[in-house]
Structure 1
Amino acid sequence: MIRIGLAGWGDHDDLYMNGVPQRDKLRAYSQHFNVVEVDSSFYAVPAPATFERWVRETPDDFQFVVKAYQGMTGHLRGRSPFADSASMFQAFRDSVQPVMEAGKLQSVLFQYPPWFNCTREHVALLRDAKDAMKGLPVALEFRHQSWFTPQLRERTLSFLEKEGWFHSICDEPQAGDGSVPTVLKATHPEQTVVRMHGRNAAGWNSGGQPNWRDVRYLYRYSEAELAEWAERLRLLERETANIAVIFNNNSGGDAAGNAKQLMRMLGIEYEGTEPRQLDLF
C-alpha cells in the first residue's frame, strides 16, 4: 500500500479554504491524506496526551511518521533538558506510546545531520539508537554522501536490513557532501519511507542564513518528475508492503498540490472519514 502525505499539517493553506482554526487542522488534513510527518517532535518531546489527542482526531487507518527528537540524532546545541541519554530516549518512547498502541505509528524517523558521515563511531551510535528504540518501528535517513559511495552503498543497505531499520529514501538535489542520492532500495519487507525534499540545488546549502528553510525547500515538482516517481514507487512495491511518501517541499506552498498530483497518477483515491471518537468536551 502506498500512502501519500505531507510534512506537518499546519502550514498548507490550500487545504483549509474556509479558515479552519489551528486546533482543527489535523482533523481537516486527515480528510485529504492518510499519513503525516510530525516535525514538532524534533524540537521538543511532546507529552503523551498530545499524541492521544491526535490519535482521537484522525481516522482509524491514519498513520504518523514521527521525527526523532534532535537530541537523539546529534542535532542538539546547548543544554539538554534530560539528565542523560537513557532518560531522553525513555521520554520519547513514552511520548509515542499512544500512537503505537493505536496501531498508527508508521515509524519514528531518525534523520541524522549532514556532518554525520560513515565512520565506526557513527555506526556504533546507530546501533545504540536502535537498541534504545527496541520494539518500535524506526526509519533511518542519512544526509551525508559517504554512506552511499560506490564502495559503501551495498554495505550500508545491508546494515540497515540486518539491524531492522526502514530505509528513508530521499529525493533531493545533489549539492555536495550534505546531500544523498536517491537509492531506490527497501531494507524492510513491511515498511519504507520516501521523503520528497524538492530539487532546489541553489538553495540546498543555505543553512545558517536567516529563513534558510524557506529557501531550501522552495521547489515545485513537474509532471514529468512525478511521473518518474510513480514508476519508481510501483517498483518499490515489489520489495516492501507499505510505503509512506512525505512531501516536504512546502516553502512555496507546493507540497499539497504535488502530493495530490502523485495520488492521481497512481490512481489513489482517499477521502477520509471522521474518526468514530470525537472530542465532546
Structure 2
Amino acid sequence: MITIGLSTWTRHPHLIHDEQRDVLFSEYAGVFPLVELDTSFYGVPSVKTVTNWRNQAPDGFQYILKAHQVMTRHDDAKSEQVSDDERWQTFNQFRRAVVPLVKAGMLATVLFQFPPYFTRNLDHIRYLRDVRVHMGDLPVAVEFRDPSWYEGSLSKDVFDYLTSLNMTYVIADEPNDGNRGVPFTPVVTTPTAAYFRFHGQNRRGWLDHQGDWRKDRTNYRYSDDELARLGEAVKTVSQQVDQTYVIFNNNGHRDAAANAESLRDQLGLTFNGLGPTQLDLF
C-alpha cells in the first residue's frame, strides 16, 4: 500500500483554495491520510498533546513524528553537549509520550533525521544500535544527510546494518554534488515499510546556505516528468514492502500539496477512511 502525505498540516493553502490562513487538521485529513510532524524535534510533546492528535484523527490516519534533536545528536555541534543520562532520559520521555498513538495504531514511524555532521564513523555506527536499544520495538526510520554513508561498496554494509537493527532507510530526493547532500537511493531495509521524503531539487538553496536558506532550500515545484520518475521508484519499492510512506517536504513556496495530489493521481491512488470534507456550495 502506498500512502502520501505532507510535512505538517497547517501550511498548505492549496488545500483551502489558496486562502491565506492555517489549514485546519480536519481539512487536511479530508485529503491525506498521513502527516509528518516536526514539533517533536523541538520539544517532546506531552501525553495530553499526543492524545489530542489521536482523538482528532479519523480511524486509519497515520502520524510520522520526528525524533527530538537530542535523540539525533544535533547537540554535537554545540559547545555544551547533553550528558548520556540526559539523552537516554529524553528517549524514555519520548517513548512514553507516543503511547496513545501506538495503542491506536496511528504511529507510522519515528523519523531520526540526523544532521550533516553525523558522518559515518565508529561512534555514530554504534549510536545507531543505541537508538534501537532505547527505542525498544517502536518503528524507527533513519535519514542520513552526509554523503559519507554512501561511499563505495561500504554503502551496502550500511543498509545491511540498518536491516539488522530493523530500521527503515529514508529514501530522500534532494540536490547533491558528491560532497553535500545525498544521492537518491531507493533501497529497502525493512519488509514492513519504506519511506520516501521529497525535498525538491533547489540546488542553490540546498547547497549554498545563503540568505534565508532554511526556507529557500525547499522552494521547488516538481514537474510532471519528475513526478513520473519518482513515482516509478515508489511503485517499484512498494512491491517489496507492506507499506510505503511518501512525504512531500518541498514547501518553501507552498508547492508540496499540489505535487502530492499530482503524484496521487499519477499513481491512481484512492485513500480510504479520510475525514469528512466541507462541500463547496458556492
Please say if residues 37 and 66 of structure 1, whose CA atoms lie closer than 8 Å, have aligned partners that are also in contact: yes
Give the structure 2 partner of residue 223 of structure 1: 224
Shift, 1:82, TM fit: 10
Q: Against the structure 1 CA distance between its residues 74 and 99, is the aligned structure 2 distance closer, same or farther, given a 3 Å change threshold?
A: same
Query: Are 1:8 and 2:11 an aligned pair?
Result: no
Give the structure 2 partner of residue 116 of structure 1: 118
Please say if residues 181 and 207 of structure 2, whose CA atoms lie closer than 8 Å, have aligned partners that are also in contact: no
Number of aligned pairs? 273
The residue identity in structure 2 corresponding to 1:229 is L
The residue identity in structure 2 corresponding to 1:167 is Y
SS in 1 for 2:170: strand
**Distance across 2 between alignment mates of 1:162 and 1:146:** 20
Unaligned runs of 5+ in 2: 278-282
What TM-score do the two structures reach when normalised by structure 2? 0.91
Kindly provide the CA deviation profile for residues 51-81 of structure 1, in whole angstroms up to 9, marking residues without a partner as x: 1111111111111110000011111346769
What TM-score do the two structures reach when normalised by structure 1? 0.91
Give the structure 2 partner of residue 36 of structure 1: 35
Shift, 1:17, TM fit: 3.6
Please say if residues 82 and 88 of structure 1, whose CA atoms lie closer than 8 Å, have aligned partners that are also in contact: no
Give the structure 2 partner of residue 245 of structure 1: 246
Give the structure 2 partner of residue 278 of structure 1: none
**Distance across 2 between alignment mates of 1:188 and 1:56:** 29
**Distance across 1 between alignment mates of 2:106 and 2:96:** 15
**Distance across 2 between alignment mates of 1:139 and 1:235:** 19
**Distance across 2 between alignment mates of 1:20 and 1:83:** 44
**Distance across 2 between alignment mates of 1:52 and 1:99:** 7
Choose 149-158 or 73-82, whichever is displaced more: 73-82
Choose 51-60 or 168-177, whichever is displaced more: 168-177
Please say if residues 3 and 35 of structure 1, whose CA atoms lie closer than 8 Å, have aligned partners that are also in contact: yes
Q: Against the structure 1 CA distance between its residues 81 and 255, is the aligned structure 2 distance closer, same or farther, given a 3 Å change threshold?
A: farther
**Distance across 2 between alignment mates of 1:20 and 1:105:** 30
Moved >6 Å (runs of 4+): none
Q: Against the structure 1 CA distance between its residues 112 and 269, is the aligned structure 2 distance closer, same or farther, given a 3 Å change threshold?
A: same
Shift, 1:178, TM fit: 3.3
**Distance across 1 between alignment mates of 2:11 and 2:235:** 29
SS in 2 for 1:61: coil
Give the structure 1 partner of residue 193 of structure 2: 191
Q: Percent identity?
A: 37
**Distance across 2 between alignment mates of 1:102 and 1:240:** 22
Query: Are 1:93 and 2:95 an aligned pair?
Result: yes
Query: Over aligned residues, Cα RMSD in angstroms?
Result: 2.1
Please say if residues 15 and 257 of structure 2, whose CA atoms lie closer than 8 Å, have aligned partners that are also in contact: yes
**What pairs up with 1:158-169 in 2 under 5 angstroms?**
158-169=160-171
**Distance across 2 between alignment mates of 1:83 and 1:239:** 39
Give the structure 1 partner of residue 258 of structure 2: 257
The residue identity in structure 2 corresponding to 1:224 is D
Q: Against the structure 1 CA distance between its residues 221 and 21, is the aligned structure 2 distance closer, same or farther, given a 3 Å change threshold?
A: closer
The residue identity in structure 2 corresponding to 1:182 is F
Please say if residues 13 and 21 of structure 2, whose CA atoms lie closer than 8 Å, have aligned partners that are also in contact: no
Shift, 1:16, TM fit: 2.6
SS in 2 for 1:6: strand
Give the structure 2 partner of residue 157 of structure 1: 159
Give the structure 2 partner of residue 71 of structure 1: 70
Query: Are 1:133 and 2:132 an aligned pair?
Result: no
Q: Against the structure 1 CA distance between its residues 182 and 58, is the aligned structure 2 distance closer, same or farther, given a 3 Å change threshold?
A: same
SS in 1 for 2:254: coil
Please say if residues 194 and 238 of structure 2, whose CA atoms lie closer than 8 Å, have aligned partners that are also in contact: no
Shift, 1:205, TM fit: 2.6
